[in-house]
Amino acid sequence: MNQNLSIFTLVLHASLVVQLVMAGLMLASLASWTVIFSKLFGLRKVRAANEEFEREFWAGKNLNELFAEAARRKDGAPMERIFATGMREFLKLRERRVADSGALLDGSRRAMRASFQRELDTIESNLSFLASVGSVSPYVGLFGTVWGIMHAFVGLSNMQQVTLATVAPGIAEALVATAIGLFAAIPAVIAYNRFARDIDRIAIQLESFIEEFSNILQRNAGVPAAASEK
């Protein structure tokens, strides 16, 4: 590719609309990469924190001790916050002299399901942005290409003799918009699919913990509060 048809030159000589499309796509690509790296490290941290709490939970420690530690900890794992929510509701119902084990279990389970949904919403934050970038960017780039080609042909209509050398720069300028659109869309789609799969695994892990902890609470429904064990 010669100097006159370099990418930088093509962008500079594109029409204003095409340049705005390219600038918007580059901003979308930059924002999507920011989300990708943030989500990559965030999900890794969530998985590590959940695994650490799960090992501590099944180590045989007393439930009241675990609850006291979870209440003191400000930045705990999602699984730990779900546990604390369920345990808090369980103890609160006991303080109200609720003797029915079914009512105790239902109240704790509802509290944990609500906490689970809040945690899942937090984990899924910005995931829809990647989906939007992945689905919309190619069409935005195609719009820039169509506009650029139309603008190029309008300019060529004033020429008496049209050759490939006169057509090529205008077409190339327009096609750069499609290339930038694909550059923004492809990483966003790949990252979205990867993160969606990882989040599904985290959700299954949390749901399994809720069921297992509910079984433990059911066994402890008739045990005095100070002696709650697994």
Instruction: Write the pLDDT tens digit of every residue in 122-136.
Output: 999 999 999 999 999
- pLDDT reported for residue 29: 94
Q: Average pLDDT in the 16-27 region?
A: 87
The whole model's pTM is what?
0.80
Query: Which range marks the domain in which residue 160 is found?
Result: 3-227
pLDDT-derived band at 203, boundaries 50, 70, 90: very high
- pLDDT reported for residue 3: 44
SS3 letters for the chain? CCHHHCHHHHHHHCCHHHHHHHHHHHHHHHHHHHHHHHHHHHHHHHHHHHHHHHHHHCCCCCHHHHHHHHHHCCCCCHHHHHHHHHHHHHHHHHHCCCCCHHHHHHHHHHHHHHHHHHHHHHHCCCHHHHHHHHHHHHHHHHHHHHHHHHHHHHHHCCCCCCCHHHHHHHHHHHHHHHHHHHHHHHHHHHHHHHHHHHHHHHHHHHHHHHHHHHHHHHHCCCCCHHHCCC
Among residues of the chain, what percentage have pLDDT more than 70?
81
For residue range 60-93, what is the model confidence (pLDDT) as tens digits? 788 888 888 888 887 889 999 999 999 999 888 8
How many independent structural domains does the chain possess?
1
